[in-house]
Amino acid sequence: MREVSWPQVSARRLERAGLGAAPWGETDPAQAVAAMCGAHAQVMSAGEASVALRLDGVTRQHVREALWRECSLVKTFGPRGTVHLLPARDLPMWVSAMSSVPPGRSPFPESVKMTPEQTEQVVEAIREVLTGAEMTIDELSDAVVAATGPWAGDLVMPAFQVMWPRWRQAMHLAGHRGAIVFGPGRGRKVTYTAPPPAQPVADGLGGLVRSYLTAYGPATPDQFAQWAGGPVRWAARGFEEAGLEEVLFEGRRAWVVAGDTVFPEDPPRGVRLLPYFDAYVVAGRPRELLYPGPAAQRALAGGQAGNFPVLLVDGEVRGVWHQKRSGNKIDITVELLCDLTSAQVRELDEQVERVGEVLEGRPRLTIGPVSVGPHA
């Protein structure tokens, strides 16, 4: 059985994530997002930056064009029910995989929950009313309530100091079922629409496991389950179907795609700034290797990755950072958790310039403590 070390795995993951020695040159945003196995976009500006930072000469505007004009990307509900950018060409695989997640225990009290039958009614209502339409959330709510019943509109879900209607607890499920994606903004308002038509695929779960392991392997079923937001038994079934090969990763059993056992011998090198919820740190495990020593306490929020933008040094989290914009000026503060060599300081300066290019502003670097807390 092949044995691999953390430096080998880290170097391979960085290269495949577009975070190696040089950004991807001829790759477009959709190809980048496919290689990332989805880009977290709950914070849309961070999702745009995640993609653009991996591509030479690309800005946030190029990512927006891929999403809204070229339609090579879609914005929808991905792993863990969170908002992601996904390649349009891979959407059938994602729908097949995520719709196979067994129903979990509802976190809502009995007075808020919907029955399984009501949930199915809402998902099908969303599918029907969005076919050929773009709707704001208020328009969609009115249409869903009209199609199902007054119970769907009961304001029972606490959310951001307001109450949402009951039906909205099924929105991410509707996304996983391929009934809804985000549409282009209508002024400041978000819209929703139906996904582009596509042929369904049968092996979606196995395909998603292979995509995940290509980007972030070696990994285990429980690590995939945590990333995807499904039970371990479901993830284990996907591993059985995917065609995998076992390796020893730092002495522990883990899996890669069959035949995908080439790992670099040179250790990881380079300095990178990653925004909120970057796919690399959210998917990367084991956490104790990616967030060594004081990084775990400083850059994780209750064990959760992504709540802080992070500084990667040689493949490990070695700091946090924050950016504040005022007009065209972008103040970037980097809090270091290690000493940098003079060459690494120059790389950090280059990264700051690159962030400014991506965000289409003029950056200024300050080394010092970051006082901003984790993103919710």
173 vs 106 pLDDT, higher one? 173
Look at the alpha carbons of 200, 99, 221, 211 in this order and tell me if their dihedral is positive or negative.
Answer: positive
* Residue 283 pLDDT greater than 80, yes or no: yes
Range with the poorest average pLDDT among 69-78, 88-97, 158-167, 323-332: 158-167
The reported pLDDT for the residue numbered 320 is 98
Tens of pLDDT, residue by residue over 4-34, are 999 999 999 999 999 987 778 778 999 999 9
Q: What's 143's DSSP letter? A: H
Q: What is the mean pLDDT of residues 222-235?
A: 97
Q: Provide mean pLDDT across the span 50-69.
A: 96
The predicted structure's pLDDT at residue 16: 95
Each residue's pLDDT tens digit, 177-190: 999 999 999 999 99
Q: Is the pLDDT of residue 355 over 80?
A: yes
Share of the chain above pLDDT 70, in %: 100
Rounded to the nearest 10 degrees, what angle do helices 232-242 and 204-216 cross at?
90
Q: What is the mean pLDDT of the chain?
A: 96
Q: Which residues contact 244 (CB under 8 A, 6 or more apart)?
A: 209, 213, 255, 256, 257, 258
State residue 182's pLDDT score: 98
**Structure confidence at residue 200 as a pLDDT band (50, 70, 90):** confident
Q: What pLDDT, on a 0 to 100 scale, did the predictor assign at position 23?
A: 73
Mean pLDDT, residues 166-173 taken together: 96
Among the residue ranges 30-39, 157-166, 341-350, the one predicted with the least confidence is: 157-166
Does residue 376 carry a pLDDT above 90?
no
Percentage of residues of the chain with pLDDT beyond 90: 92
End-to-end CA distance of the chain: 42
Per the CB < 8 A criterion, the answer to whether 122 and 174 are in contact is: yes
Q: How far apart are alpha carbons 338 and 315 in whole angstroms?
A: 13
Please give the Cα distance from 141 to 167 (Å, whole number): 8
Residues 6+ apart with CB under 8 A from 245: 255, 256, 257, 258, 259, 260, 261
Parse the chain into domains and list their residue ranges: 106-177, 271-367
* 199: confidence class by pLDDT, cuts 50, 70, 90: confident
Give the CATH number of domain 271-367: 3.40.630
The string of DSSP letters for 73-121 reads EEEEE-GGG-EEEEEGGGHHHHHHHHTTSPP---SS-TTT---HHHHHH
Burial of 160 from C-beta contacts in 10 A (0-12 / 13-18 / 19+): exposed
Q: What is the pLDDT of residue 202?
A: 87
The predicted structure's pLDDT at residue 336? 98
Question: Which of 353, 361, 373 is CA-nearest to residue 328?
Answer: 361
Please classify residue 95 by burial: count the beta carbons closer than 10 Å to its beta carbon, then call 0-12 exposed, 13-18 middle and 19+ buried: buried
Q: What angle do CA 153, 154, 159 make, to 5 degrees?
A: 95
Q: 265 Cβ partners below 8 Å, 6+ apart? A: 8
